[in-house]
Structure 1
Amino acid sequence: MNATLATWVKPTDKSLGEWLDSRIARFSTRRYDFDALKFQADYDPKYRRAQMRYMGTGATGVQSDSNTVPAEHFTFSTMVLPAQCEGPLHVHDDVEEVFFMLRGSITLFVEHDGETFETQLNERDLISIPPGIYRGLLNHGEEDALMCVMLGTGKPTTPTYPDSHPLSKIKRA
């Protein structure tokens, strides 16, 4: 086997099945976590949204979640963005972020070096945003939007907001 592909090591105290079972995150054992970004919704209800974690904890500030597959090279979660709610403009300086729409549509807005870009993402659309670029999203619809969110590192740093945004002044609990 090619040595560059064989980077994983099965624990010696587990069978292959036991080890692989520990790497499965089943939908039936997930729950939506509206508290992950609660400090934003407490500031203004328009920022209310929920994360359902599958691999790692993402960049929401959740320190640990024993009900996820441990993250090695990326994190993966789903996010519910309720109707008329938004994910505020923020930046990940350390990592690429990918949004993949499962249901509904959102308006995604991006700012970088004085330029702005806005697009609508619909079901099964994907966008990859490189590190260092501000991004935000808005569910302009009447129903919840559901998307997959993937961050390209096992433990991303918590994002920051533009200095002019009111959330940049809020301290997380």
Structure 2
Amino acid sequence: MSTPDPTVEEMQARVARFASMTPSTQAFVDTRIPDYARDIYNVIGRGVTEDPGLAPAIADSRNFSITYVGAEPGKGAALHAHETVEVFIPLTGRWAAYWGEAGDKEIEIDTFDVISFPPGIFRGFRNIGTEKALLMAIIGSKPETGDGGRVDWAPEVLRQSHETGLRVNAAGDLETSD
């Protein structure tokens, strides 16, 4: 087997510089619901983002994707599920990871702790600290497609998001009805 030897220029395309990333404040159907307002940065791959305009800093995402989530205290992600494993790692602050059909089970996680959710269960997270904080989310890919698939939202989340005029179309992308 030959070992690749990329140039510095080739490797520059594989560097994600946080200072150069532009987040989406409307990357998912739940982001217009006040408790779920957050900034989404696609670092490696598109992941499961519903905002078709949010390009990743590094496009080559074989078998996984990485997203950064910035949220103010009390904010986070609504109950959702994936067909793949999803991992949350707080980079700053304290977070609560919760799960279950009613979101009634919860574990607090601190900076650099790791929680891994298995496929198919509803999960969410929120910043429980006193300052804006940053969380890393890593999502696996489905073997048959190589991507993370789409998000399944809890029915109450979809009801609330529809009231804001935000929906997900058949292709899995956001659209507004307002």
Tell me if both proteins adopt one fold, taking TM over 0.5 as the criterion: yes
Q: Equivalent residue for 1:83? A: 73
Report the 3-state secondary structure (helix = DSSP H, G, I; strand = E; otherwise coil) of the residue aligned with 1:31. Answer: coil
The answer to whether 1:69 aligns with 2:69 is no
The answer to whether 1:160 aligns with 2:152 is yes
Moved more, 48-57 or 15-24: 15-24
Q: Equivalent residue for 2:17? A: 26
Report the 3-state secondary structure (helix = DSSP H, G, I; strand = E; otherwise coil) of the residue aligned with 2:87. Answer: strand
Q: TM-score, normalised by structure 2?
A: 0.77
Q: Equivalent residue for 2:105? A: 117
Q: Quote the Cα distance in structure 1 between the aligned partners of 2:114 and 2:38.
A: 19
The answer to whether 1:92 aligns with 2:82 is yes
The answer to whether 1:129 aligns with 2:122 is no
**Contact 1:92–1:160, Cα closer than 8 Å, also in 2:** yes
**Contact 2:79–2:157, Cα closer than 8 Å, also in 1:** no
Q: Quote the Cα distance in structure 2 between the aligned partners of 1:29 and 1:40.
A: 25
Query: 1:66 Cα deviation (Å)?
Result: 5.9
Q: TM-score, normalised by structure 1?
A: 0.79
**Contact 1:80–1:147, Cα closer than 8 Å, also in 2:** yes
Q: CA 1:128–1:29 in 2, change beyond 3 Å: closer, same or farther?
A: same
Q: Quote the Cα distance in structure 2 between the aligned partners of 1:32 and 1:105.
A: 21
**Contact 1:25–1:69, Cα closer than 8 Å, also in 2:** no
Larger gyration radius, structure 1 or structure 2:
1
**Contact 2:42–2:56, Cα closer than 8 Å, also in 1:** no
In the alignment, structure 2 segments of 5+ residues that lack a partner are 169-174
Q: CA 1:29–1:47 in 2, change beyond 3 Å: closer, same or farther?
A: same
Q: Quote the Cα distance in structure 2 between the aligned partners of 1:65 and 1:28.
A: 15
User: Which amino acid in 1 is paired with 2:157?
Assistant: P
Q: Equivalent residue for 1:145? A: 133
Aligned identity (percent) is: 25
Q: Equivalent residue for 1:50? A: 39
User: Which amino acid in 1 is paired with 2:25?
Assistant: F
